[in-house]
Chain A
Amino acid sequence: MIETRGLTKHFKDVRAVDGIDLTVAPGELVALLGPNGAGKSTTLRMLTTLIPPSSGTARVAGFDVVRQQREVRLRIGYIGQGNGAGHSQRGRDELISQGRAYGLSVRDARTRAGRLVDSLGLAEVADRRVSSLSGGQRRRLDIAMGLIHAPELLFLDEPSTGLDPQNRANLQEHILALRAEHETTIVLTTHYLDEADSMAERVIVIDHGRIVADDSPARLKAEHVGDRIVLGFDAETEAARAASTLAAYDPGREGTRLTITTQGAPRRVPGMLDDLRAAGHPAAEVEVIRPTLDDVFLKLTGRSLREGGAAQEPANSTDELVEV
């Protein structure tokens, strides 16, 4: 569905996108994750024909984004960061003219607009001026605009930025439902970790215009960070003895606490606890910390996404995790 080779964009001296090779198969739901300015949106803007690449090639829905723009445009839907619907227009009018832009007859455009208005819960506001709608309503209208021609491939640029958590969850549900129904291929950019984590089967981490990782959220976490098991003991001496019992796991000790980095922690913990009890120094408390995509990002780039890209260490991270 998407195939890029060495896709690059520079603005004056800045390499916003620096040689991206990306392949997306039909039906995939891919999230491009990265801090602001990482090159996610610029990549999307090249794939949607909005800006020409400085070098490299991209084929989208089977066509070249530079030489066959019209063919590409006919097959994709795009929901940008702004509002697709004009603020002085009415939602339903905009949906219909959007349908007309894709060559639907007036009747088909009207029917599809009506169906989208219903399924996205916009029935009450579709005939009001767009400027009078709430942020969440406008965003759902934007989604409807992007879907009027039932595209095989849908791009969403930061779809939930600026929405409150409830509207965000609502929007994610709509996107997932839509995908289940139409088998649409979806590429979205986000800097919300939970969004990438819960929605996408495949997360592509982008930093400084390059792809630094590309896998399922679960595998990214397992491969780059792993789980952490934190064991607490009543005394330092016990902790020290426990450390030798569990030497195979290479634990790090800090006072009365042992930290073990491993994979599949939930399955290992019961065995560890049994070993410690059998050795006569049972753990007083235990905590299993599953990694987040932010931990992955931190590991890969040395920066936290949550801190807006600043070189800061999240509270739940240990020093060894910060090293790159």
Chain B
Amino acid sequence: MTTLITDTRTVFSRELRPVLRDPFTIIFSMVQPLVFLALFAPLLPGADALQWFVPGIIVMSCLFASSMTGSNLLFEIQTGSHERMLVTPLRRPALLIGRALKEIVPMFAQAALIVAVCVPFGFRFNLAGALLGLVVLATFCIGLGALSYTLALAAKNQEWLFWTVQQTLIFPLLLLAGVLLPIENGPGWLRALAKGNPLSYVVDAERSLFNGDIWTSATVSGVVAAAAVAALGLWAGVRAMRRSD
């Protein structure tokens, strides 16, 4: 018999297979944040800029990747294979989680690469904290991936709509989370907006966890924010699948 876990594995491995058969695209996309890191990090003031910046970069690449979850789906909605999968007994959350994980897992390989490159330049991290940080990040990204999936279902035959909404939302989400520059020195309204951004809490938690400060209020807030986004995404995604026609 199948379970949510086996269903998720079925969807995940189906999604990942074409990537593994043609790994060049993924290798190319893995190098991109390194370029970003090399050109941006030297501009940041302070000796421990990397400590602050590296967790943010890892969050950023996962954010971009999981927000793309719906883009492959758009094509499969048009060709008919998504409809075929909806008629199978695959559990609906597995369709969402499996597809989101396919975007996230390569990003974890990338995270390892980023960390490996940064250590010679003085980046220090706590392994247990970092691994826990990735779990929190994955939780958040499953939620975001599910929302991207929902957006694709809603946009269906209008690809431009998907991309417009995705691009419109992703940058405010990123900038208001203090990934690239610290929010603390910004004006009050900006800090207020950042407080309403669940990604802010995830980013703070990542920084704290990578540093080895595991049992902090930042971690708890990050876990809560990530879980809330995951729950919201799965709820919206399952609902959208039931209503799609």
Contact = CB atoms under 8 A, between A and B. Distances in A.
Interface of A: 11, 45, 48-52, 70, 73-74, 76, 78, 80-90, 93-94, 97-98, 100-103, 142, 145
B87 A76 contact: yes
B18 A103 contact: no
Contact of B14 (A48, A52, A83, A89): A89
Contacts of A145: 84
B10 A86 contact: no
Contacts of A88: 18
Nearest to B75: A87
Contacts of B14: 86, 89, 93-94, 97
Contacts, number: 83
A85 B13 CA distance: 15
A103 B84 contact: no
Contacts of B89: 70, 73-74, 101-103
B80 A80 contact: yes
Given A11-B245, A101-B88, 11 more contacts: A74-B89, A80-B83, A82-B84, A83-B79, A83-B81, A84-B81, A84-B84, A89-B14, A94-B81, A101-B90, A103-B1
Interface string B64-95: 00000000000110111101111111100000
A73 B89 CA distance: 5
A82 B80 contact: yes
B78 to A, nearest CB: 8
A82 B83 contact: yes
B76 to A, nearest CB: 6
B2 A103 contact: yes
Interface of B: 1-2, 6-7, 10, 13-14, 17-18, 21, 75-76, 78-81, 83-90, 242, 244-245
Q: Most chain-B CB neighbours within 10 Å: which of A52, A90, A100, A102?
A: A100
B18 A100 contact: no
A52 B245 CA distance: 9
A73 B83 contact: no
A80 B10 contact: no
13 contacts: A11-B245, A70-B89, A80-B83, A81-B80, A82-B81, A84-B80, A84-B81, A86-B79, A89-B14, A97-B14, A101-B90, A102-B89, A145-B84
Contacts of A102: 2, 88-89
A85 B81 contact: yes
